[in-house]
Amino acid sequence: MSELVDLNRAVMARNDDLAAALRADLAAAGTVAVNLLSAPGTGKTALTERLLTGLAEREIPAAALTGDLATENDARRLATTGAPVRQITTGGMCHLEAHLVRDHLRDWLPAGTRVLIIENVGNLVCPAGFDLGESLRIVLSSVTEGEDKPVKYPTAYRWADLAVLTKIDLAVPCEFDEDAFRRAVRSVDVDLPILRTSARTGQGVPELLDILQYLPARDPATDTATDVPAGPTDTDTGRG
């Protein structure tokens, strides 16, 4: 004999609750968090360097958390911008979780920080499932990775608020077919805005800085997603 018990509970409840609490705490402190997701080698760190430098020039207090399985290399690299930077070494875990972010922010995040950039572990699969308390989730893909990342990792793209194309300065030598990339994005998320960037030339960086600068903290009471303001020329907000 056996008995059936109805539990009806979200498996990720623990992480989701922590993330919601973190988002509320950050909002109360006037901080917005941005979660960067991409495969290894897309250029998250190079773009983050640009963003931290750009935010400093605009006198917007910013900080960065960077996740990796091992090494403090990225934190050392980002620290050269002068911004407060902290490494999260996951010890083999393939993604960041809300409790890791919370624990690393405690007693570290300087008061008055406006923008917190969280560079997730390089992986397009697992990090997609974990809310880190961010107000904006950006999925990045480089022209060197080909055009079909969005259709290979639809979950990462569906859950993102903005898609950033990196290394756009290499599009021609890589024979990158941007139309095919845009079609791939639209086939999984017709409304996802796309921003073209190059950390080397700085293309698209001012537009991304505008987005971060004017990003409202997500209202924890309603928990509605943030609308991304479209950049003037380089973004595409869908089929039209």
Question: Which residues here bind other proteins, judged by CB under 8 A?
Answer: 1-12, 14, 93-95, 125-126, 128-130, 151, 154-155, 158-159, 184, 186-190, 239
In the bound complex, what is the minimum distance in angstroms from residue 30's beta carbon to other proteins?
29
Could you give phi then psi for residue 143, rounded to 5 degrees?
-65, -20
Smallest gap from Cβ 176 to other proteins, in A, equals: 19
Q: Please give the DSSP secondary-structure letter assigned to residue 40.
A: T
Least CB distance to other proteins at residue 215 (A)? 22
In the bound state with other proteins, the residue whose beta carbon lies nearer, of 126 and 230, is 126
Which residue number, 6 or 175, has a Cβ lying nearer to other proteins?
A: 6
Q: Which residue, 2 or 233, is less far from other proteins as judged by CB?
A: 2
Which residue from 226, 220, 215 is spatially nearest to 20, judged by alpha carbons?
A: 220
Specify the residue, 130 or 176, whose C-beta has the smaller distance to other proteins.
Answer: 130
CA dihedral 42, 122, 136, 134 (to 10 degrees): -160
| CB of 76 or CB of 158, closer to other proteins | 158
Checking 102-107 for CB contacts under 8 A at 24+ apart, the result is 102/18, 102/22, 102/133, 104/65, 105/22, 105/65
Q: How far is the CB of 8 from other proteins (least distance, A)?
A: 6
State in angstroms the smallest separation of the CB of 186 from other proteins. 7
Closest CB 200 distance from other proteins, rounded Å? 31
Burial class (CB in 10 A: 0-12, 13-18, 19+), 188: middle
Q: Give the contacts of 118 (CB within 8 A, at least 6 positions apart).
A: 33, 34, 35, 36, 64, 65, 66, 67, 96, 101, 132, 134
Choose between 174 and 190: whose C-beta lies nearer to other proteins. 190
The amino acid occupying position 196 is R
